[in-house]
Structures are given as C-alpha cells and as structure tokens.
C-alpha cells in the first residue's frame, strides 16, 4: 500500500505505534481517534429518517440531527455534518425547528 495515500499513511502510523499488531482492546479507541465525515449516502439516510418523523408531525431539532449523526458514526457530530443533513432536510421542505434556549 502506498504511503502517499491517506490509508497508507494511517497504516504506516499504526504499524509504527504497534509493531506487533494492535491489541483487541485498543480497536475502539483507535477508531474513535479517526474522526470522519458522513458519506453522501449516510446524509441521505439520516435526512430520510428525520423527514419521516416530520411527516408524522414531529418537530425536528439540531439535537435530533446530532443524535442520529452520533449513532451513525459513533463520534461527536461535526458542525459540517449537521449542516449537510439540515440542508438536505430544508431542501425537502423540512427545515429544523428553532428551539429557544
């Protein structure tokens, strides 16, 4: 695997840090360090789930988007992911509700 690709650099970093292999108990922690963005498919799936709730009369909030992003990625939702899901919802006619603080 080429070390010029992102995947190649990650593998090289892991091999340097764990020359005898990654212990099973470290898998989750390591994956948690690899923050990622939602794929377009994941954005679509989350937006579809939220749109379904909106069609049932539910009010959709930023917290709802964050919860589903967190469930999809097992990571804290990035503002950019929340914005992408919110944008897809708004384009479908389901803007997020503004909840006064």
Say whether both 53 and 89 belong to one domain: yes
Say whether both 64 and 89 belong to one domain: yes
Q: What is the dihedral of CA 44, 58, 96, 101, to 10 degrees?
A: -140
Report the share of the chain in percent with pLDDT over 70: 77
Domain residues for 23?
1-34
Cα separation, 37 vs 78, whole angstroms: 8
Hey, what are 54's tokens?
A: 């909106």
Say whether both 21 and 45 belong to one domain: no
CATH number at residue 43: 1.10.10.2390
Say whether both 16 and 52 belong to one domain: no
State residue 6's pLDDT score. 66
CA atoms within 13 A on the CB side of 41: 1
Write out pLDDT tens, residues 42-85. Answer: 888 888 888 888 889 888 888 888 888 888 776 677 788 788 88
Say whether both 30 and 41 belong to one domain: no
State residue 2's pLDDT score. 46
Q: How many CB atoms lie within 10 A of CB 92?
A: 13
Question: pTM for this structure?
Answer: 0.49
CA 16 to the chain's CA centroid: 28
């Amino acid at each position: 695997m080429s070390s010029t690709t992102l995947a190649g650099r990650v593998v090289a970093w892991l091999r340097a840090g764990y020359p005898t292999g990654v212990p099973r108990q470290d898998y989750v922690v390591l994956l948690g360090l690899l923050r990622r963005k939602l794929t377009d498919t994941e954005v679509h799936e989350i937006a579809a789930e939220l749109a379904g709730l909106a069609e049932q009369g539910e009010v959709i909030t930023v917290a709802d988007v964050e919860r589903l992003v967190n469930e999809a990625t097992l990571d804290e939702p990035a503002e950019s992911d929340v914005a992408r899901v919110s944008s897809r919802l708004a384009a479908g006619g389901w803007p997020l509700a503004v909840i006064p603080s």
